[in-house]
Structure 1
């Protein structure tokens, strides 16, 4: 399930942690108390500015630093930052840093998964460490991007972009820092995603209530534009969710991932409840995500450079130049449709 990455930076080490520390993927992290008792981990660049706006862009990557540079910046401001953080996502060399976050392993009955990385088949692969709580575990790999596994009550999360992990350096195994570089893609899709799909997620993940199936270009642009909205403003938060409701599963993943950047208000159960309260065709559409983002003080610029982004409407079968997708009602997964036929299966 774990394979050597197909794409590696030139002269890359085969040790995951060594590659991580040498890469410009590091930032600083503050701990901010939330009303629910769990601290929010807020990312800052090493220059002291909050990490905000579109993530994983060239502008964002230019402000990330190496591990040593991040540690130096943290030491210059003692007591200000709780951790250094490692940003998951594309490194500009053809691959993505990937991360698995197993939360409260005992309470979520994830011991069988965790043991695969401690005494099982994957104990010599990737980089593994205890999470800041001490009750969970991080696994970091490098390879292909994949759709995110956000919080849904299972305790399993996985990302290949748009997120960061607070770095503890508390290796699960004594040889953890020497773990071989591995691509987590097959493991996440074959092992974690099926279990994650059984979580307490909105019905759209299963029922496929999407009214619009968006092109990959549109989804990528929405992931970029929504970061120009304010997740701490509940009015904006609700408006963004309503705008994305017609997209079904991809819309929820975009909205829920962005929601977690709220300093105080994000709660997984509340997010699921509010999402389920939204009605399809609620008088707004995904296009408002772009319009609001473009009207911000620092405006969002469409990275695709097109006037409008194309979608396939399930109800009328309108065609687009980009490959249509098919929504699998049983799994909630989006796949390229055979013979150009989009819709539902």
Structure 2
């Protein structure tokens, strides 16, 4: 027996040290942590002060609005709310202030001439004082004035945002109102629709799809595989939530080793979701002229790739191997096959 046979590790490659952190990275990390800690401190102090106030201020009170904005900014700095929730909190408070000013006549110089012209058109068409057209039925000249009225109010809202120190948000509201509205709606759902799981899950799956594509386009194939796996898990969970009776019946037919212990599908693992979906008859086949593809088998390959996010499992199963574009394409094909299967079985 040779020395190399007796000790094969003699010729193993040596591991390279991980990349060293530079001073800029260390400083940036400490700065980030300090900002978070300072935000926590300020948010706690402001929240305590607001709770101690005996009299609740009117929603149009500018000083009350400033106190509210200071608290929201501190919560954002502390990482306690997302940017979408920040947009909701800031935007809605600025809307209240701007609406109050409008009701109090602060914008009359700009709005009154438009309103008077609209009234004249309404009277010329025979409408009484408290009669109005349904949206879409009004004459073109009236609609143009209504749009001008709304545009004036929008401009006043943007001015109010800038007045209260929200120049960046004002610019977003002014230059990209669709993005602003999307962020505000996202924030509104996160606050007021926490139990609307179907909408939340479809939104999440859509996000996984887009981010998986972005990861693959950037050459981050492992990240893309993980996101396609997350999208598969989200889609199977969505099916279970849409048909809870079918999912629970299928769960009861599974052997003990495969049956999810908890009844709530949101607590089930990807493996459990696959088992339940198989038992429910939701995992079909895809056919073309020459081949038949089992959706279940495609998901098995995706699950194996997705599980490599765990370092220990990666060491045991596929050490040294990275996920390449072929693996990414396989993961995407498995998810897309599941979507095709969904449409074929009418599960959408």
TM-score (norm. length: structure 2): 0.22
Larger Rg: 2
Q: Which structure dedicates a bigger proportion of its chain to helix?
A: 2
Greater strand share, structure number: 1
**TM-score normalised by structure 1 residue count:** 0.22
